[in-house]
């Protein structure tokens, strides 16, 4: 598991990953600190890593990245996203503004 704080090649992350899913990588984004945790079997493990490093639960969201997809390479789905206290009652990140923040952070940090 690692935390991405600077622009990094998505291809490099994909090639150097320790957890190998067939076509995707699980990631967790901190929308306040604008950082991304990656390379784990569970979003919950990445969530714990960010929490241990000062992130606040309210600001972190799980996603899946599909590096080989030309468009719609981000899936805004993870169990850790179920948060009734934040009006997010599904695994999907429901708030359009939060989705936009996640997309901007990913485009800034994950160079395609």
Tokens 């090649």, residue located: 9
Residue 35: CB atoms within 10 Å? 20
Separation between Cα atoms, residue 54 and residue 93, nearest integer Å: 22
- Residue 70 pLDDT: 86
pTM of the predicted model, to two decimals?
A: 0.95
pLDDT of 71 reads: 86
Q: What average pLDDT does the chain have?
A: 96
Sequence-distant (6+) residues with CB within 8 A of 78 are 26, 28, 43, 61, 62, 63, 64, 91
| CA count, 13 A, side-chain hemisphere, 84 | 0
In this predicted structure, the answer to whether residue 108 has a pLDDT above a threshold of 90 is yes
pLDDT, tens digit, 9 for 90 and up, residues 11-55: 999 999 999 899 999 999 999 999 999 999 999 999 999 999 999
Judge whether residue 77 has pLDDT over 90. yes
């Amino acid at each position: 598991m690692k935390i991405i704080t600077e622009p990094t090649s998505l291809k490099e992350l994909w090639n150097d990953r320790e957890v190998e899913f067939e076509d995707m990588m699980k990631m967790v984004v901190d929308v306040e600190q604008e950082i991304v945790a990656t390379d784990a079997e569970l979003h919950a493990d990445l969530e714990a890593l960010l929490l241990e490093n000062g992130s606040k639960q309210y600001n972190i969201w799980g996603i899946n990245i599909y590096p080989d997809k030309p468009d719609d390479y981000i899936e805004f789905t993870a169990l850790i996203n179920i948060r009734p206290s934040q009006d997010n009652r599904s695994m999907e990140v429901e708030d359009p503004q939060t989705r936009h923040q996640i997309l901007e952070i990913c485009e800034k940090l994950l160079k395609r």
